[in-house]
Amino acid sequence: MTTRRSFLKSTTLLSAGLYMAPKHFKMKAPVIGLQLYTVRDAMAKDPEGTLAKVAQIGYNSVEGATYTGSEKFYGMDAAAFKKVLQQNGLIMPSSHYLLGEAENNGKFINGTISHDWDKAVDDAAALGLKYMVCAYLMDSERGDLEHYKKVVDKLNIAGERCKKSGIQLCYHNHNFEFIKQGDTYPYDILLSADKNLVKMEIDLYWIKKAGQDAIKLFHEHPGRFPLWHVKDMDNTAAQDFTEVGNGIINFKEIFKYKNLAGMKYFFVEQDKCPSSPFDSITKSINYIKKNLV
């Protein structure tokens, strides 16, 4: 099974939004999203067929995960990928990107916040993305609090560039941002970014894994969390990933605070699935339709 780190690295090795829907297109309510990393192996083999299957299961929104390195959307340019989305009644409001400080085989990686960001933003605008998300910091991109402050500077600059194209930059958390350095969480440093230029995509699984309280964060930073990853944690010592509604995260309670958080879109994500990811995402959407939307 591909891990997030190996997936991110493999997408760079391969190469070195909401789209503007036609007037006749009407989005079926409610909007339920899927982070395509969940079906990454299928997307790598057959993106068109996979998107059709995702739509057939009932998802009408997706979040991308491959632009960094390839500077393509699942092997396609913005126009071609937008057409595939439209054919399947899907919107893509958001996509993931890397910071790009880390090198790959001694070379910088394009399509990142640090390298060729102008093209990344232009392509995102052509696709119609509303959000571009810094998905993950490699080990070498973390460092001490002073380095996190430099990351914040980069995020502010990247967010300003996004803003010029009508796009909002966000930062997606894992749990390493909640390992204290002295009395300070690195996540607090990241939250010091300009709140208008850099908002947050909260990953509810990793927040739980880090021992944090999502609702508390919503109260402390209202309106800062327009994007959510809805991902459950199983009731075992391993605290592994599981289908939404099959674990211990109280999504019903958390969803009561979606307006306080400023949530606009949410995406199911399951990094590892026990068998077919299509079976897992079907279980998740069935729970969501019955209990959350």
Neighbours of 258 (CB within 10 A): 15
Query: Band of the pLDDT at 5, cuts 50, 70, 90?
Result: low
In this predicted model, which residue has the larger pLDDT, 141 or 7? 141
Q: Which domains does the chain have, with CATH numbers?
A: 4-291 (3.20.20.150)
Cβ atoms 285, 30 nearer than 8 A: no
pLDDT at site 2:
52
Helix axes 277-291, 47-57, angle to 10 degrees: 30
Minimum mean pLDDT range among 18-22, 121-125, 163-167, 249-253? 18-22
Reported as half-sphere exposure (CB side, CA atoms, 13 A), residue 39 has a value of: 32
Average pLDDT (140-155) is 97
Q: Can you give the pLDDT at residue 47?
A: 98
Q: What pLDDT shows up at residue 279? A: 98
Range with the poorest average pLDDT among 28-32, 81-85, 155-159, 279-283: 28-32
Which residues contact residue 87 at a Cβ distance below 8 angstroms, ignoring those fewer than 6 apart? none
Confidence at residue 27, expressed as pLDDT on a 0 to 100 scale: 55
208's enclosing H/E stretch is helix 204-209
For residue 241, give Cα distances in angstroms to 37, 123, 238: 14, 32, 9
CB atoms within 10 A of CB 211: 8
Q: If you average pLDDT over residues 71-97, what whole number do you get?
A: 98
Q: pTM of the entire structure?
A: 0.91
pLDDT, tens only, 188-245: 999 999 999 999 999 999 999 999 999 999 999 999 999 999 999 999 999 999 999 9
